[in-house]
Amino acid sequence: MVADLEIALRGKPVLGEGPTWDVGTGSLVWVDILGSAVHRFHPGDGTDEVIPVPQHVGAAKPRTNGGLVLNLRDGIGLLDPDGGDPRWLVYWAREGMRGNDAAVDPAGRLWAGTMRYDTAPGGGFLARVEPGGRARVVLPEVAVSNGIGWSPDESRMYYIDSLTHRIDVFDYDVATGDVANRRVFTEVADTDGVPDGLCVDAEGGVWVAVHGGGQVRRYTGDGALDRTIEVPAKQVTACAFGGDDLADLYVTTSREGFTEADAAEQPLAGSLFVAAGIGVGLPSPRFPD
């Protein structure tokens, strides 16, 4: 189903990740983790604003005041609308570890994952961060903390620790942020790749990027594989719905660790792709500030 995809932005970020549609600005916020940069892509005119940050940045999510909350190498930072350096909200620096994927839950809490650069099992964690800065590690000892999302009725939270080759699901309490009853939603084992970032559509379908597999997959609410989109880049990292009606699926990719031969074989790796009108997504909550 390559025909579903178009190139939204041809580029060469080292590790494109974490797309999120910012309704307030009508732009897609995404990051180049190893390039230490936050991007704002404006589909209307095709421009891509690049905001350098002082550390590797795993995710950037919109705030209610127009700024961004960042999952940086050493913790959670707040970037104000008028720019400047991020200021720390939570600082948890650990040698050899960095921030990775993150998401804002329906009540405005940030769920931020970490991982070791060497992807050692048990080297990362998933934390829940309140707007005031109180943080709690919810899942200790994960390997590569990745995709996070919530069902349309807010009763479920989906989560990926990539090296498990599966998507897990929890019962989720929106009032408290508590999760319980972790179980397997679906296995992603019939591929050379691993599950990476995910998003949930308005029908409850779960879309997941398959890193190393060159695919985005949609699973129904009961965990059955429903659709597969082939991507002309093997390192597919994340996906998110955007556009004025949240009907366009944006897909980030990476060229991390590429040789010259890899670059020649996959010239579009690192580009931002879009599948227009492929579904209907859910609006992304903003982090309160």
Q: Which residues of 209-247 are buried (b: 16+ CB within 10 A; e: fewer)?
A: bbbebbbbbbbebeeeeeeebebbbbbbbbbbbbbeebb
Report DSSP letters for 85-139, one per residue. Answer: --EEEEE---TTEEEEEEEE-TTS-EEEEEEETT--TT-EEEEEE-TTS-EEEEE
Sheet-wide strand order for 6-9:
6-9, 272-275, 248-253, 236-242
Q: Kindly name the residue from 32, 101, 196, 201 that is annotated as catalytic.
A: 196
- Angle among Cα 150, 103, 173 to the nearest 5 degrees reads 40
196 is catalytic: yes
Active site residues: 196
